[in-house]
Structure 1
Amino acid sequence: MKSRVRYTLLLVLLVAVLAGCSDVAHPQPINPNGGFWDAWLVYPLSWLIKKSSEFLGGSYGLGILVATVLIRLATLPLMLKQINSSKKMQEIQPEMQKIREKHANDPQKAQQETIMLFQKHGVNPLAGCFPLLVQMPILIAFYHAIVRTEEIRTHTFLWMSLGEKDPYYILPVLAAATTYLQQKMMGQQMQNNPQMQMFMVMMPLMILAISITLPSALSLYWVYGNVFMIVQTYFLYKDVRRQGKSGPIPQAGGGKKGGSGK
């Protein structure tokens, strides 16, 4: 959990630095034949948004929606790995709690036994960080695709100009609210973890503070992505919630195998 918190905070920090360092007033044109960054990340995203917008009647706001859904679908395998890791973590929660209680006055010993428990059950606590690591370059490339594509930057969608800040702060508030809901849904198996509880409050507040400074198009991408993740999490975690309501989950490596417990 600590690693995931660090990676998430790093993601937010990178976006904040990006917002402060990029020259939005005089952005450089995207060079499709340039280096790896422009040719393989920024230009394809810009092209995808523009083509999707053309198909949807010239609305770049809807084009961003299509691009967001396609990106989320492309990263779905990583999300599935994160779900599997969360399920395994949930299975060994009782044993982890026993370790914490047994070595309440010896954190180092508790950490050693927890690592041994992870190894015994084949749990990788860093698996939940993989989707975040992939999001970092995508989010930064998305930012470049927006501010360096004149059609997107100057387009008006609903009440806002996509290349400028939301004048009414509606999108930043929505980005923060959907971030909180997404984190709450994905952290249901960690409700008793004080660090997780603090993280679920800090993260939306940081998203709110940063979204206020970003172009509306990126905040829109954030909201679209969060809503997609909320729906996706609801279905992917359905069996986890069902197991939680029906009783304790059989311990991995125990006498009972599979989800039926027979």
Structure 2
Amino acid sequence: MPNQSSKFTFLKRSSLLLLIFSVLLLSGCSADHTPINSETTGFFNHFVVFPFSALIKYTASLFGGSYGVAIILVTFLVRLLLMPFMMKQYKNQQQMKKKMAILQPEMKKLQEKYKDKKKDPESQRLMQQETLQLYQKHGYNPLAMGCLPILIQTPILFGFYFAIQRTPEIAAHSFLWFDLGHPDTIMPIIAAAVYFLQAKVSQMDMPAEQQKQMAMVAYVMPIMMGAASFGTAAFLPLYWTIGGVFVILQTLLAKHLYKEKNLPAVPKTLEN
């Protein structure tokens, strides 16, 4: 039975794999590039992609036709709407970590008890049963950390991305020093730097062992972001950069609000 820190690492690595898959999918050439409008067929197109496209156009009209500003503002708006889900997930993670720290000594005793019986199916069954009883005793539920926020945000963020991609007005405009519809050499570097900083911020306050296990995250994601951005229109690294900045701020806020001393005390046991 793997230890509890490995469960946290597994969840984080699973999230990393999902993000990498998203990068590859979003930067691929197979997506539909046809302009989106109210007549476009398909449930996802009609109820997700088109409303985002209309919102981007409306926001741009409020700022002198600046689609760069529109992408920034709508990105922040979308992230703000998703923020409660992500904050709840972070709070649950911190609470589970506190419970994990309490049950860890008993868990080690249990692992020691069955360490010489790893090949005995009956012993392994008993170990799993006692482990579940230990979880119940301390109110520990690894699934409470969950992937629900990721599952909720993925179709929304995908829809927003496709709205940007399929709104032709965006590609016809420039923002700051670059054309939104053409590749840029500087924005991919900025996007990679932001995601490197995001990974480092997310690993703050982690135990040294977990930081080592998650070290590749700080390098893989920026490389993936930078590599994918170099061959795409500049609106993509702009979108990723703004999203990354928001996540950094959100993570810092969550770490401040839900640091250990601000969380409710966890009882040593839920049993008498």
Instruction: Give 1:232's match in structure 2, choosing from 240, 243, 250.
Output: 250
d(CA) in 2 for partners of 1:74, 1:48: 15
Whether the 8 Å contact between 1:49 and 1:67 is mirrored in structure 2 is yes
- Bigger CA radius of gyration: 2
d(CA) in 2 for partners of 1:189, 1:116: 30
Structure with the greater relative contact order (CA < 8 A, sep ≥ 6): 1 or 2? 2
Aligned twin of 1:254: 268
Aligned twin of 1:190: 206
Give the Å deviation of 1:252.
Answer: 1.8
Instruction: Give 1:135's match in structure 2, choosing from 153, 157, 169.
Output: 153
CA gap of 1:171–1:115, structure 2 versus 1, over 3 A, is: farther
Q: Deviations over 1:94-113 (max 9, x none)?
A: 3465467654895x87x957
d(CA) in 2 for partners of 1:199, 1:22: 27
TM-score by length of 2: 0.76
The percentage of aligned residue pairs carrying the same residue is 38
Write the letter of the residue equivalent to 2:78. Answer: I
Aligned twin of 1:30: 36
Aligned twin of 1:259: none
d(CA) in 2 for partners of 1:117, 1:176: 43
1:8 corresponds to 2:24: no
Write the letter of the residue equivalent to 2:242. Answer: Y
TM-score by length of 1: 0.78
Write the letter of the residue equivalent to 1:215. Answer: A
d(CA) in 1 for partners of 2:196, 2:135: 28
d(CA) in 1 for partners of 2:88, 2:70: 28
CA gap of 1:61–1:186, structure 2 versus 1, over 3 A, is: same
Give the Å deviation of 1:240.
Answer: 4.0
1:174 corresponds to 2:190: yes
Aligned twin of 1:260: none
Whether the 8 Å contact between 2:38 and 2:46 is mirrored in structure 1 is yes
d(CA) in 2 for partners of 1:85, 1:117: 19
Structure 2: state its 5+ residue gaps.
1-7, 119-123
Instruction: Give 1:63's match in structure 2, choosing from 67, 70, 76.
Output: 70
Aligned twin of 2:25: 17
Q: Deviations over 1:124-146 (max 9, x none)?
A: 44635333323322332233212
Q: Secondary structure at the match of 2:28?
A: helix
Instruction: Count matched residues.
Output: 247
Q: Give the alignment of 1:56-135 within 5 angstroms.
A: 56-95=63-102, 98=105, 103=111, 106=115, 112=128, 119=136, 120-125=138-143, 127=145, 129-135=147-153
Give the Å deviation of 1:227.
Answer: 1.1
- CA-based RMSD of the aligned residues comes to 3.2
